[in-house]
Amino acid sequence: MRAHLAKEIGNLQRLVSELAAEVEDAVRKAVTAARERDDVAARELIAHDDVIDQHEVAIEEECLKILALHQPVAGDLRYIITFLKVNGELERIGDLAANIAGRAISMAENTVKAEVLFDFDPLVSLVRQMLKRALDALVARNCLEASEVIRDDRAVDRLSGEICDRAVEELQKQPGLAGYCTDVILIAKHLERIGDCTTNICEDIVYLELGKIIRHGGLDARYSEALPE
Structural domain for 71, as ranges: 2-226
Q: Rounded to two decimals, what is the model's pTM?
A: 0.86
Q: pLDDT tens-digit profile of 38-70?
A: 889 999 999 999 999 999 999 999 989 888 877
Distance in angstroms (rounded) separating the CA atoms of residues 209 and 182: 41
Region of poorest pLDDT, from 15-29, 176-190, 210-224: 210-224
Is pLDDT above 80 for 191? yes
pLDDT for residue 223: 42
Output 59-65 pairs: Cβ under 8 A, ≥24 positions apart.
Answer: 59/12, 59/15, 59/16, 59/19, 59/83, 59/84, 59/87, 60/84, 60/87, 60/88, 62/8, 62/11, 62/12, 62/15, 63/12, 63/87
Is the predicted pLDDT of residue 89 greater than 90, yes or no? Answer: yes
pLDDT tens-digit series, residues 125-169: 999 999 989 988 988 889 899 999 999 999 999 999 999 999 999
What pLDDT is attached to residue 229?
Answer: 46
Mean predicted lDDT score pLDDT of the chain: 86
CATH number at residue 198: 1.20.58.220
Q: How many domains does the chain fold into?
A: 1
Ranked by mean pLDDT, the top range of 89-93, 107-111, 212-216 is 89-93
Q: For 79, left (φ over 0), alpha (ψ -120 to 50), or beta? A: alpha
